[in-house]
A and B are shown apart, each in its own frame.
Chain A
């Protein structure tokens, strides 16, 4: 009967093409707006490394001023760590992988070939690439042996390799970074995690760095953090060594813990260190040592702010208005066809069959509405993308990075469209099946 009902649905659309178009448009607009807001929300709130939810943690400790919280409006410890604390925790053998890092500025050129260009550079440790599952186009990251003492090795992003070497395999070649020569050991493939969970300081939707150097080069070359650095206390900071010993938070630390037992041990290790430091006069605030997984980290750092949630709410409210209108139009259309329904009932159609027939008509509408809605959403997202890209003068990063469909977004959109429209059509389809047929047979 499905094919028969589908044919009847087409007949029905042909009978009222204007009304049908209006309903499809109402559904499509509601779907488009909600899908657009949902896509942006999903881009913001998604955990780009969800499969490591139970393994990957960022490490934070509340080393802040006993008289003033780090952020009076939140109960969270500083999002970064001091060099002293991070360095100590980094020596723990508990994590399977551990990363210490910060971002800095530099200038780089291919040896003898090009003029130096400014590059965002990440000073990090060897596990960075394996921990965050960074894909390589050529070569690999450096080994942990290259971390300390730091070896003159460097990893480039694909974009940077394209700029300096025209996309050729540059592994083994050298570049000059701030007048120091580094040998290229790896070139990343395309990699743009959204949000940039591992370092939210430079903007949650900023592109990854262009170059990666062993962490200790940053210390040795006394490279300052180019992102957020917060300090408290009155210790004089006259040089980089003072800075490293000050109560300044500027380092991100991540650990990969393979089991809940390892997590417990790491927490105990942190608490033990805290107790030791507390006794020595540091850490005078209530103990707040945290291992935070990525999803919680994104929530804590408010990557998705209330405005975005409100926008999603408004998007769905608009969808609800569109669907309510569609329910009204469907009801009017189905009731207008009540005499024909009465004839069908007289000829042997059961309520269930009438319901199924009309539900398939609604289903066909929902498919059309979903298709048009997706097209409109794609257009809308492209427009927003264009708008933000213009504002960023063609550079990557920012909201434009999340204004495109991903596969999960499309599945969401199609599911939303079909479920929402079918839900909207349930009542009219049920209602028309309950009409007393005899009433309409005389009136046709």
Chain B
């Protein structure tokens, strides 16, 4: 489903070249919950940006759902991102002057869904995260945990195959963080593949496997015991 082979990403300045990813290979199958860990500057976020089609890469190959993304136009990449990928960010990244409903609606707008379809999906996503009653609230009127749940609702409203989460609990206290991770697990159990970037080893243990990055390369794989409710994913192959 997601297959990277020898992907390298280099940031260049006039003086130096920095490998953010160096011959990085990873295969993630449908329904997996994969944690990506590593120290700062190890390439975790770059990996997530490349996987989310937000950044290009310099060499190697990357297939998403069987499509080679390297040669895709911006329009095609955007469409693929819109239809297949959902993002969750550390700092929530809600649009401050849109209310909860309108924030969740953003990816659906770009998919050109009908108003009825959009409304149904928004209601369903907000229901799932427990914020159906807050549709008219502005982001500034919500707590951090609530904002992140809105961000999750926005990410899943389009029913993506992948959910890419970059330190989703980094700005939350432990209680809120636990709620968010519970929610991610719940979404994963519904069949959505999750790639979670985190510093937090405890959080990483909630995933089915852990990919540890150092200097843009995979330093270690770690498979965890399957969650009882996610048994179908236990046999996920390690690349």
Residues of A within 8 A of B (CB): 1, 4, 11, 14-15, 339-340, 342-353, 436-438, 441-442, 444
Contact = CB atoms under 8 A, between A and B. Distances in A.
Contacts of A343: 93, 95, 106
A1 B109 contact: yes
Interface residues of B, number: 31
Contacts of B54: 345-346, 436-438, 441
B97 A349 contact: no
A342 B89 CA distance: 12
Interface in B67-118: 74-75, 77-79, 81-83, 87, 89-91, 93, 95-98, 106-107, 109-112
9 contacts: A14-B97, A346-B52, A346-B87, A348-B78, A349-B82, A436-B54, A438-B54, A438-B55, A442-B166
Kindly list the 5 A-B residue pairs having the minimum CB-CB distance in the complex, ordered from nearest: A348-B82, A350-B78, A347-B107, A348-B110, A438-B49
Given A348-B81, A353-B78, A444 B55 contact: no
Contacts, number: 75
Nearest to A349: B110
A431 to B, nearest CB: 15
A353 B82 CA distance: 13
Contact of B74 (A4, A342, A344, A351): A351
Contact of B78 (A14, A349, A436, A442): A349
B79 A348 contact: yes
Contacts of B97: 11, 14-15
Nearest to B98: A11
Contacts of A347: 81-82, 87, 106-107, 110, 154
Given A339-B93, A344-B95, A351-B78, 11 more contacts: A11-B98, A340-B96, A346-B81, A347-B87, A348-B83, A350-B77, A352-B74, A353-B78, A436-B54, A438-B55, A441-B54
Contacts of A339: 93
A439 to B, nearest CB: 9
B61 interface: no
A444 B81 contact: no
For B55, B106, B166, the residue with the greatest tally of chain A CB atoms inside 10 Å of its CB is B106
A443 B153 CA distance: 21
Given A350-B78, A351-B74, A344 B106 contact: yes
B45 interface: yes
Contacts of B158: 348
Interface secondary structure of A, over-half rule: helix
Given A347-B110, A349-B78, A442-B45, A436 B89 contact: no
B51 to A, nearest CB: 11
Contacts of A342: 93
Of the candidates B96, B109, B166, the one having the most CB atoms from chain A within 10 angstroms of its own CB is: B109
Interface string B143-177: 00000000000100010000000100000000000
Given A347-B87, A348-B82, A436 B55 contact: yes
Nearest to A353: B110
B110 to A, nearest CB: 4
Nearest to A443: B91
B62 to A, nearest CB: 15
B48 to A, nearest CB: 9
Contact of A350 (B45, B75, B109): B75
A442 B48 CA distance: 12
A343 B150 CA distance: 14
A350 B55 contact: no
B110 A441 contact: no
Chain B CB within 10 Å, residue with most, of A15, A351, A441, A444: A441
Contacts of B77: 350
Contact of A345 (B45, B78, B90, B109): B78
Nearest to B46: A438
Q: Which of A343, A348, A444 has the most CB of B within 10 A?
A: A348
A444 B89 CA distance: 10
A14 B97 CA distance: 9
Which of A347, A351, A436, A442 is the most central at the interface, judged by chain B CB atoms within 10 Å of its CB? A347
A350 B111 contact: no
A422 B109 CA distance: 25
A7 to B, nearest CB: 9
Contacts of A352: 74-75
Nearest to A440: B93
Nearest to A436: B55
Contacts of B154: 347
B139 to A, nearest CB: 11
Contacts of A340: 95-96
Interface in B1-56: 45, 49, 52, 54-55
